Structure 1
Amino acid sequence: MAMMETADVEPDTALARMVSRIPRAHPDIPVEDVIASLRGHSFDCADTIFVTDSGGRLEGIVRINDLFADGTDRIADIMEPEHEAVGPDADQEEIAKLAIRLNMIVVPVVDGNGVLIGAVPPEALFRILRDEHMEDLQRLAGINPHEEGPDVALDAPLFDRFRRRLPWLVFGLVMSSLITMVMAGFEHTLDANVSVAFFVPALVYIAGAIGTQAVSVAVRGLANGATPIGVLLRDEMIIGLAVGGSLGVIAWAAVLASFGDAALSLAVGLSVLAGGSMSAVVGFLLPWAFQRTGLDPALGSGPICTIIQDVASLSIYFMLVSALIL
């Protein structure tokens, strides 16, 4: 497969990913003539026949299985008309979204006048999906992606990998001072009942785990674009309440059985419910807010979301403890 890769081609665009030797046909040509014309020719991608007018403008496509279904029709009778395409400067993520949304195995590329100049083949689509997935995983983990792709980042020099991981970890270290401030602000609560401190790690873990799940759902949902954001948010709120409620009941029963303190067990149970529900909403809305401001939804969702969830869940916990116990 001969990709167009030159120094002046912007990487991660349709022009860099497309191939140009593709089968073309005019609408009025009989199907059997098109099949005959394919013999003896070598194409970079022959999964789809691209239907163009006399000026080369894209009019539709014919999938290869439809081409061989009936040899008596004209191409115009079996083509999918007014088929969507991308421009040469389209980002590879947009290409992948279009392919998924329209169930396409090949994405046509047209110029500003609608003239067909090439197509992004299945091999490239698979590569795009993998690269975007790996890049999202790195960003969710707080690792700045490599300019030449995620595979290069794995084999990069040690110092290069070090400097890509460090920034978000430094950010997390600095922002963790907020958690210290929350703990210090409720010092009197800890002094009054040392058992209160026993449940801080569990609350932080639960909030982080629920938030991470919500972030993953949000990033994939935004990348797919098939489901409205309002529907996804509603579902995450329901799931967050259900998960938080279930874990809250379990935590309440476990603390009550272990410590015999009704007020403390109620504070822990309500904190798990509130913290879990809040983490689901924050974890979902943060990637959406990133996208609305023009940033990558996965850019800092993991590290930033962790700080917000930890501070919020601990604040809720200590306020409930202060209200119910002291």
Structure 2
Amino acid sequence: MAAVDETLQDGELLRVAADHATARVPRAAPHDRAGDLRAGLAGLLVECADDIAVLKGDQLVGLLPIERLLAAPADTPVEAIMDPDPPTVPPGEAQERAAWEMVRRGESSLAVVGEDGRFVGLIPPHRMLAVLLAEHDEDLARIGGYLASTAGARIAAEEPVGRRLWHRLPWLLIGLIGAMLSAVIVGSFEEQLAQNVLLAFFVPAVVYMADAVGTQTEAVLIRGLSVGIHIRQVIRREILTGLIVGLLVGGAFVPFCLLGWGEADLAVAVGLALVASCSVATVVAMTLPMLFHRLGHDPAFGSGPLATVIQDLLSIVVYFAVAVPIAT
């Protein structure tokens, strides 16, 4: 097996659990004694000795952490101190999900086991640390919406100005188009704004709150998808959360507007618009990652400027659609 610094090939991190597993680990049988096993480890060349793989033939039956082995009396059988139900993943498991399983179970190593129960190897902690670091860099790059790979994220800090512009301008142009469309939408309500100019005061607040709610929903959904949580497990709770957040934000705004401007119609209009825009933003924030996921693309792209533009435009439309009939 390759060492951890060799897990990068052609600038991309290997993607499945088997790519990070090593068979060069200490092994024992369930009936072995702790003292004999400790003596046998002396002079043994292995890649990682955090855990001992306990096998019956080629079948994994448990993992023995090295600290338990060192503390056990010499005549203690391995099966008495091993973990008989260690975390395991199949060879084709995605590396990020494998890392999450190791963290969730609190183990030093993660066993890779075939469908027939055959022991493939252990994923050492230093390799999983490399995976988590690379996935973190990649997710940050993708959330930023300008790069699609971990290698690209690392290169971005050193690339020349021309390539920086090439990576960023397309996404910024999408934002510019969205800004132009928002100007057109606001301009179409010129007469209504002339009747009550206060309506224009609260456009930034409604847009910001919708963006904030949408960003939180996207983060929760994408994080869940990355560790294998099914969308159906979160969709109803996120929709309900978005509605409740909208009600709380809208309810908090009404007395503020009444105290500041003394117009009950305006306060109610903007409060209702906040409820509607936060709810719509939640739906949009779930729709884009779900769509990317179904199309086989990384759903983190849905957290970029495209989602922001759509949420901003819909927030403005919803705001004027709700507020104008009430406040003018």
- Give your verdict on TM over 0.5: yes
Do the aligned partners of residues 158 and 57 (structure 1) sit closer, same or farther apart at CA in structure 2, a change above 3 Å counting? farther
List aligned pairs for 1:146-157, cutoff 5 A: 146=149, 148=151, 150-157=153-160
Tell me, in whole angstroms, the C-alpha distance in 1 between the residues paired with 2:317 and 2:129: 45
Tell me, in whole angstroms, the C-alpha distance in 2 between the residues paired with 1:64 and 1:290: 43
Q: Is the 8 A contact 2:54 2:64 kept in 1?
A: yes
TM-superposed CA distance for 1:199, in Å, is 1.3
Do the aligned partners of residues 103 and 297 (structure 1) sit closer, same or farther apart at CA in structure 2, a change above 3 Å counting? farther
Do the aligned partners of residues 8 and 198 (structure 1) sit closer, same or farther apart at CA in structure 2, a change above 3 Å counting? closer
Q: Is the 8 A contact 1:222 1:288 kept in 2?
A: no
Do the aligned partners of residues 167 and 269 (structure 1) sit closer, same or farther apart at CA in structure 2, a change above 3 Å counting? same
> What's 2:172 paired with?
169
TM-superposed CA distance for 1:7, in Å, is 8.7
TM-superposed CA distance for 1:32, in Å, is 2.6
TM-superposed CA distance for 1:57, in Å, is 4.3
Do the aligned partners of residues 61 and 149 (structure 1) sit closer, same or farther apart at CA in structure 2, a change above 3 Å counting? farther
Q: Is the 8 A contact 2:97 2:227 kept in 1?
A: no
Q: Is the 8 A contact 1:4 1:16 kept in 2?
A: no
Q: Is the 8 A contact 2:48 2:124 kept in 1?
A: yes
Tell me, in whole angstroms, the C-alpha distance in 1 between the residues paired with 2:9 and 2:259: 68
TM-superposed CA distance for 1:16, in Å, is 4.7
Could you tell me which amino acid in structure 2 is paired with residue 247 of structure 1?
Answer: V
For 2:89, what is the secondary structure of its paired residue? Answer: coil
List aligned pairs for 1:43-192, cutoff 5 A: 43-54=46-57, 56-68=58-70, 70-71=72-73, 72-77=75-80, 78-81=82-85, 84-87=88-91, 90-109=93-112, 115-146=118-149, 148=151, 150-192=153-195
CA deviation vs aligned residue, 1:108-166 (integer Å, no higher than 9, x gap): 34568655444321122122122212221221221213452633433333433332223
CA deviation vs aligned residue, 1:145-199 (integer Å, no higher than 9, x gap): 3452633433333433332223322222234444234324333322332222121
Deviates more, 1:204-213 or 1:256-265: 256-265
- Residue 280 (1) aligns with residue 265 (2): no
> What's 1:224 paired with?
227
Do the aligned partners of residues 180 and 7 (structure 1) sit closer, same or farther apart at CA in structure 2, a change above 3 Å counting? closer
TM-superposed CA distance for 1:324, in Å, is 0.9
Could you tell me which amino acid in structure 1 is paired with residue 128 of structure 2?
Answer: L
> What's 1:203 paired with?
206
In structure 2, list runs of 5 or more residues that go unmatched: none
TM-superposed CA distance for 1:101, in Å, is 4.0
Tell me, in whole angstroms, the C-alpha distance in 1 between the residues paired with 2:7 and 2:224: 33
For 1:22, what is the secondary structure of its paired residue? Answer: coil
> What's 1:256 paired with?
258
> What's 2:306 paired with?
304
TM-superposed CA distance for 1:314, in Å, is 1.3
Tell me, in whole angstroms, the C-alpha distance in 2 between the residues paired with 1:242 and 1:211: 14
> What's 2:217 paired with?
214
> What's 1:318 paired with?
320
Deviates more, 1:56-65 or 1:29-38: 56-65
Do the aligned partners of residues 155 and 38 (structure 1) sit closer, same or farther apart at CA in structure 2, a change above 3 Å counting? farther
CA deviation vs aligned residue, 1:75-94 (integer Å, no higher than 9, x gap): 3443425752332x544223
Q: Is the 8 A contact 1:59 1:83 kept in 2?
A: no
> What's 2:242 paired with?
240
> What's 1:39 paired with?
42
Do the aligned partners of residues 147 and 141 (structure 1) sit closer, same or farther apart at CA in structure 2, a change above 3 Å counting? closer
Tell me, in whole angstroms, the C-alpha distance in 2 between the residues paired with 1:79 and 1:246: 48
TM-superposed CA distance for 1:271, in Å, is 0.9
TM-superposed CA distance for 1:207, in Å, is 1.0
Tell me, in whole angstroms, the C-alpha distance in 1 between the residues paired with 2:198 and 2:65: 67
TM-superposed CA distance for 1:44, in Å, is 2.2
In structure 1, list runs of 5 or more residues that go unmatched: none
Could you tell me which amino acid in structure 1 is paired with residue 46 of structure 2?
Answer: F
Q: How many residues align?
A: 323
TM-superposed CA distance for 1:289, in Å, is 3.5
Normalising to structure 2: TM-score of the pair?
Answer: 0.84
Normalising to structure 1: TM-score of the pair?
Answer: 0.84
Could you tell me which amino acid in structure 1 is paired with residue 167 of structure 2?
Answer: R
> What's 2:6 paired with?
5
Q: Is the 8 A contact 1:12 1:91 kept in 2?
A: no
Could you tell me which amino acid in structure 1 is paired with residue 182 of structure 2?
Answer: I
